[in-house]
Amino acid sequence: MNRPTFVEIDLKALDFNLKSLKSSVHSAKFFPVVKADAYGHGIDKITEHIQNKVDGFCVATSEEAINLRSKSKKPILDLEGPYDLADMKALLKNNIEFVIHSSRQLNFLKQIKKFKESHPIWLKFDSGMNRLGFSIEDSSIIFEEVSKKTNQIVLMSHFYSFKGNAKQLKKFKDLEKRCSSDEISVKKSLCNSGGMINYPASQKDIVRPGISMFGSRSNLKDKNIKLESVMTLKSKFISLKVIKKGEKVGYEGTWQAKKRTKIGILPVGYGDGYPINLSNCGKVLIKGKLAPVIGKVSMDMVAIDLSSISKISYKDEVILWGKGHEVDTVAKYANNSSYTLMTGITNRVKKVYKL
């Protein structure tokens, strides 16, 4: 590995976060979300490491689900559900659980001649997100129709906010009343990371934690819960130089030196997933001190003002986000989200797993 830009994935930190999050769960099953390549952390390595510590996995697409099935025997849920009838058949063939959220998907289900009645179906209802899901007013009819195919149904919805979800909780409670049965096993799943911690009453039978598993507290009201950074984006300088007062840095010269200034160039940019909107506002961690990003972030490089850092060398490690410099903090610099930063890491950045 010649290029000194890489992502370190700390699997011990992942274990710590799992333990911390699970201690907040009363009795619900734990189905972590590992979509988008496990939030940029590498789905193969992450699921292999934790599969004996969880009850199942959630992914976003059929492709992700089928790929994961070749590596795990745990229950797998496709959150978007099948796109067409062929897709539904492929999911069933691979013993993958899926969400049904539309009448279109319900019609696919009706066309399946031989449906194993023990195969769970997740019915998604819209409690306020207005994205995917049946109307709760139609829930009794939908529930009755799906119960003709399976004896295991999971009622589910999704929080749209982590600041106040009393209305959604109330709607979900109404859903539970409308969809009950003595003959069918009915489970409930409502909460993601924020819901699980912020609203313990929303934990129900199955929880679906996502970004918090990787150390982000961005959606958590309870700042006391202990989480560690799993992903740390690191690099080292490829150029160290001093520029004169008045000299400009980067494309279009958006930063100008007010005095004689020592700067360093890191081989990382938006082509690696370090966002351009960190231009002139980001900070990196060097030898325990923060140093500002100056000029525009380019595709392959970023410039750093080293005025406050003494005795800098090409061997010094620079943390762009991660341990000691939280991704949540960096996301705020960029007026962005931790989700975007984590999932934005591109394929040319090598992942190094640490146990």
Distance CA 237, CA 234 (A): 10
Active site residue 251: yes
Domain residue extents for the chain:
31-214, 231-354
Q: Which two tokens stand for residue 321?
A: 């986000």
Site of tokens 């934005």: 344
pLDDT of residue 1: 59
d(CA 11, CA 355): 5
CA angle at residue 341 from 338 to 343, to 5 degrees? 105
Q: Which residues contact 337 (CB under 8 A, 6 or more apart)?
A: 218, 331
- pLDDT tens-digit profile of 293-340? 999 999 999 999 999 999 999 999 999 999 999 999 999 999 999 999
In terms of C-beta density within 10 A (0-12 exposed, 13-18 middle, 19 or more buried), how is residue 96 classed?
Answer: buried
Between CA 301 and CA 3 the distance in angstroms is 12
- Per residue in 126-145, pLDDT (tens digit) is 988 899 999 999 999 999 99
**What is the structure's pLDDT at 163?**
65
User: Cα 7 from chain centroid?
Assistant: 16
The answer to whether the predicted template modeling score (pTM) of the entire model surpasses 0.75 is: yes
Question: Is residue 180 a contact partner of residue 187, using CB atoms and an 8 Å limit?
Answer: no
Residues 154, 121 contacting (CB under 8 angstroms) = yes
Q: What is the token pair recorded at 265?
A: 């160039």
Number of Cβ atoms within 10 Å of the Cβ of 134:
22
Are 72 and 47 in contact, with CB atoms under 8 Å apart?
yes
Q: Which residue of the set 251, 287, 314, 354 is catalytic?
A: 251
Place of tokens 């691979």: 94
Q: What is the pLDDT of residue 175?
A: 92
Choices 3.20.20.10, 1.10.1200.10, 3.10.20.310, 3.30.1490.480: CATH for 31-214: 3.20.20.10
- pLDDT lower than 50: segments of the chain: none
Which long-range contacts does 330-336 make (Cβ < 8 Å, 24+ apart)?
330/278, 330/282, 330/283, 331/218, 333/278, 333/281, 333/282, 333/283, 334/275, 334/277, 334/278, 334/281, 334/282, 335/277, 336/275, 336/277
- CATH code for residues 231-354: 2.40.37.10
